[in-house]
Amino acid sequence: MRKEFAATMEQLATEDDSIVFITGDLGYAALESLQGKLGKRFINAGVAEQNMVGVAAGFAHKGYKVFCYSIAPFIVYRCLEQFRNDVCFHNLPVFLVGNGGGYGYGIMGSSHHTLEDIACLSGLQNANVWVPAFADEVDPVIRQIVSESRPAYLRLGFGKNAPENSYSSGSFKVIHQGETPEITIFALGPIANNVMTALAQSNELAAKVNVINALHFPLELTSDIVNLIEKAPAILVAEEHVATGGLAQQLSVQLLEKGVRMSSFKSLKAEGYPNRLYGSQAYHQKLSELDPASLTAHIHQLIIPA
């Protein structure tokens, strides 16, 4: 999604003179064209993320809309206090952009993984968290972030384009509706691509499943999504994030508060490092049973016997 992000930012750079872009010494071989279009509004703050967000808050206080860019763990964990105190409490238009969410940086290990970012940021005052699942969602999400002009975090990963006939409802996007659904799958971000890969292997399986992607937090659960759940009340949540503070936990609270009827609720999430080894993103997804083959097995377990 980094390519789509850069392309949209280049367009915004020419459309809106209030856009400022600050990078934490990252983005080489990807952001040079953006730098040329922004000129002095493109700032390399160096490896100083806390200072970067403080500077961004100052620009925002003076009327600018500021993007702060780094790899996800650096933009989230290193400057959480500055984002909370300097940006969120003052409801300023500073937008954190984290590339490579979840296990995205693979073999580089836990210091470069981002498994708790939704938990850290979605509860902050005035903040919105955005987790696109598909490449063609990046442009409209960025434009909405700029239009809303409030604190935001954008978690970028890798995804194909959204399936045809997808539609948005509240915080969610419905990306697949089975002909005779029994199971409602809620996916966070690019894990939705794994779910769709699993369903593509079997038309019979695809007919039993509805797939809904969670696009942003705080969650807004609409009556349309509730109706889909009530018709397919076995829920499976798949997310490349730890259980605490993630999609499954926040969704379950919404469902309980609204009294939504469920027949079962199963959560698949990032399991950390159960064997104390590092590998590719696909390797860690498999350990957490978030790969297409494991998802297929879990879907079969939830199907109601004939």
**Gap between the Cα atoms of 186 and 254, Å rounded:** 13
| Average pLDDT of the chain, as a whole number | 94
Amino acid at 242: V
Angle value at C-alpha 297, between 295 and 298, nearest 5 degrees? 65
CA gap 46, 52 in Å, rounded: 8
- Measure the CA–CA gap between 105 and 72, rounded to whole angstroms: 9
Report the length, in residues, of the chain: 306
Q: Please check the confidence at residue 306 and state whether its pLDDT lies above 70.
A: no
Contact yes or no for 188/219 (Cβ under 8 A) = no
Per-residue model confidence (pLDDT) at position 158: 85
Task: Kindly report whether the global pTM for this prediction surpasses the value 0.85.
Answer: yes
The arithmetic mean of pLDDT across residues 189-212, rounded, is 95
Q: Are 207 and 178 in contact (CB under 8 A)?
A: yes
Cβ neighbours of residue 90 closer than 8 Å, sequence gap 6 or more: 57, 61
Tell me: pLDDT of 304 over 80: no
State the pLDDT at residue 303: 85
Query: At 246, is the pLDDT very low, low, confident or very high (cuts 50, 70, 90)?
Result: very high
The phi and psi torsions of 212 (rounded to 5 degrees) equal -130, 130
pLDDT of residue 2: 80
The mean pLDDT value for 1-11 works out to: 89
- Tell me: pLDDT of 252 over 90: yes
Rounded to 10 deg, the angle between the 191-200 and 292-302 helix axes is 70
Residue 12: alpha-carbon gap to chain centroid:
21
Integer Cα distance of 201 and 164 in angstroms: 18
Mean pLDDT, rounded, for 131-145: 95
The helix-helix angle for 138-148 and 2-15 (nearest 10°) equals: 40
- Residues 46-76: pLDDT tens digits? 888 999 999 999 999 999 999 999 999 999 9
Please, what are the domains in the chain?
2-156 (3.40.50.970), 167-301 (3.40.50.920)
CB atoms within 10 A of CB 167: 11
**What's the confidence (pLDDT) of residue 159?**
82
- How far, in Å, CA of 72 to CA of 158, rounded? 13
**Residue-level pLDDT at 32:** 87
Place of tokens 């499954």: 248
The first and second tokens of residue 233, run together, are 């009340």
- Is residue 161 predicted with pLDDT exceeding 60? yes
Task: Answer yes or no: is pLDDT of 92 > 90.
Answer: yes
Average pLDDT over residues 154-162: 90
Task: Return the closest-CA partner of residue 177 out of 252, 227, 240, 239.
Answer: 227
pLDDT at 1: 75
Per-residue pLDDT, 305? 63
